[in-house]
Structure 1
Amino acid sequence: MAWKDGYLDLVLIPAGVLFPIVYHLWLWRVVRRRPLCSTVGINAATRRLWLFGMMKDNEKKAVLVVQSMRNVIMGSTLMATTAILFCTGVAAILSSTYTVKKPLSDTVFGAHGEYMMALKYVTLLLVFLLSFLSHTAAICTLNQATFLVNTLPSAADLPVTKDYIADVLEKGFLLNLVGNRLFYAGVPLLLWIFGPVLACLCSIVMIPILHSIDMVYVESGSSKGSEVNASTVEMVYESDESVMQV
């Protein structure tokens, strides 16, 4: 059987997609089992403590809550705007008759057919569109959390608790994280236009970069670190009884 250019896409692109998926499944397992060994778990715990502290003295700290949430919402707005601009650019390319839709160069490895080029642009458009949707959902959820934090002391007749507000806040930050990771996934797909080799290499290089961002290593022994993690988790989730009564 003769070798075809499309075989590189069939081998390298699924491999480039598989590596980030496996990494994020591993990261999810780490966050579930050892939350304070990752920045995701540490940030979630500190946000929970911050939220309980703000609700404890809400009359004096209401403005601080609004300013802090506004900064997060502005970041999500920027990412959503950037993602939709990418979607607009890709959609303009797909609807045009320019030669950019055709093979860029014969020196680029991989398939160059019109169907393959359309598949590349459609996949890129879909990823950035999902990133935009995640960030817009994060903005709505964070806005809802802002109202809940500032109205909780006067909402005695409503079935709203501080745990519910913490869950809403974490849902907003989780959507923000998903939107960011989808936006990062658009980089290898953007390089896929120039060939599957660059896309696969970029996907592999991103794994250690994300690992260095996501993981936190304690210099002391593992047993001591686990004791610190357990005590901190208990402090965060047992603060329900001492921070605020709803």
Structure 2
Amino acid sequence: MMEKKDLDLVLVPIGLAVMVSYHVWLLYRIRRHPKTTVLGINAINRVVWVKAMMSDAKNAILAVQTLRNNIMASTLLSTTAIMLSSLIVVLMTSNSVGISSGGEGYGGGLIHGNSSKLLLSIKFFAILVCFLTAFLLFVQSVRYYSHTGVLINVPLKNHAPTLTPEYVGRIINKGSYFWSLGMRAFYFSFPLVLWIFGPIPMFVSSIGMVFFLYFLDTSHDPVLSAEVQNVELV
């Protein structure tokens, strides 16, 4: 019979493999069949939106306000990520969780799995990596949204050969992709947080997270106009 300490060696890698495999599959769907995913449909419609904004100078204020809202959302999430990272660092260095005191396990026998303090420190470090990754991704999102705010207000009649609505659409889509990746880092942190309470909650939450994300990411009946169907994903 499998010992409690061996559950982490089996369930945790399987849970992580399930989540990574799902995102590999999602990336394939976005690249090959974008109109069957929410991310792909949104990327196509952002290009159409950029063309509409740049075709009329009267839309400049609307475009800037929309991008400002996106920047504020990314800024809020990046601030949240760095605050959570700071909290994890405090917990890792605090004697209250017993990580630095070494030796005995934690949880008082309630953790059905490896409860060594060394593994606890690894758990906190994995969560810290998720939050720091999310912070960096949201910062990059702000960067691309800021670039878009400048480029989208250049009138079409004054365009250089390299500045087209399609190019601006690629820039804003990069900002959105970084925002989505930052959210994925938050999603990955949830099973890792539950890993503190044992490998079984972590494994169950990983499976549940994949089902949850599947219904959020896929679009089985996309309603696309003829104009949008002819737009290539950038």
Contact 2:55 2:156 in 1 (8 A): no
Match of 2:126?
A: 123
Separation in structure 2 between the aligned mates of residue 229 and residue 34 of structure 1, nearest angstrom: 14
SS in 2 for 1:150: coil
Could you tell me how far apart the structure 1 residues matched to 2:202 and 2:48 are? 40
1:197 corresponds in structure 2 to 200
Secondary structure of the residue that 1:133 maps to in structure 2? helix
Please state how far the C-alpha of 1:157 moved relative to its aligned partner.
Answer: 4.8
Does residue 180 (structure 1) correspond to residue 163 (structure 2)? The answer is no
For 2:108 and 2:158, how far apart are their aligned partners in 1?
64
1:64-143 paired onto structure 2 within 5 Å? 64-99=62-97, 101=99, 103-143=106-146
After superposition, what is the alpha-carbon deviation per residue over 1:44-90, rounded to whole angstroms, capped at 9, x for unaligned? 11111000000000x20111001111111111112111111110100
**Once the 2 structures are TM-superposed, how far is the Cα of residue 154 of structure 1 from its aligned partner?**
7.3
State the alpha-carbon separation in 2 of the partners of residues 208 and 202 from structure 1: 10
The residue that corresponds to 1:28 in the other structure is 27
Please, which runs of 5 or more residues in structure 2 have no aligned partner? Answer: 100-104
1:171 and 2:170 correspond: no
Q: Deviations over 1:145-180 (max 9, x none)?
A: 111111354754573222221111111000000000
Structure-2 residue corresponding to 1:235: 230
Tell me which residue corresponds to 1:44.
43
Report the alpha carbon displacement of residue 25 of structure 1 after superposing the two structures with TM: 1.1
CA distance in 1: counterparts of 2:63 and 2:17, whole angstroms: 40
Deviation at residue 3 of structure 1 after TM alignment:
4.7
Give yes or no for contact 2:53–2:60 (8 Å, CA) kept in 1: yes
Q: 1:162 to 1:60 in 2, by over 3 A?
A: same
The CA deviation string for residues 95-145 of structure 1, in whole angstroms up to 9 with x for no partner, is 111135461231211111121011001111011100110001101111111
The corresponding residue for 1:9 is 8
Q: CA deviation at 1:206?
A: 0.8
- Give the percent of matched residue pairs that are identical in Structure 1 and Structure 2: 32
TM-score normalised by the chain length of structure 2: 0.90
Instruction: Check the 8 A contact 1:69/1:142 in 2, yes or no.
Output: yes
In 1, the alpha carbon distance for the partners of 2:68 and 2:160 equals 28
Aligned partners of 1:152 and 1:160 also within 8 Å:
no
Render the CA deviation track for 1:5-60: whole Å, top value 9, x for unaligned: 33111101111111111111111111222211111111111111000000000x20
More off after superposition, 166-175 vs 3-12: 3-12
1:206 to 206, 209, 214: 209
- 2:113 counterpart SS class: coil
| Structure 1: runs of 5+ lacking an equivalent | 219-224, 238-246
Partner of 2:52, secondary structure, is: helix
Task: Name the CA distance, whole Å, in 2 between partners of 1:139 and 1:108.
Answer: 40
The number of aligned residues is: 228
Post-superposition shift, 1:192? 0.6
SS in 1 for 2:106: coil
Q: Matches of 1:146 and 1:15 in 2, distance apart?
A: 43
| TM-score, length of structure 1 as denominator length | 0.85
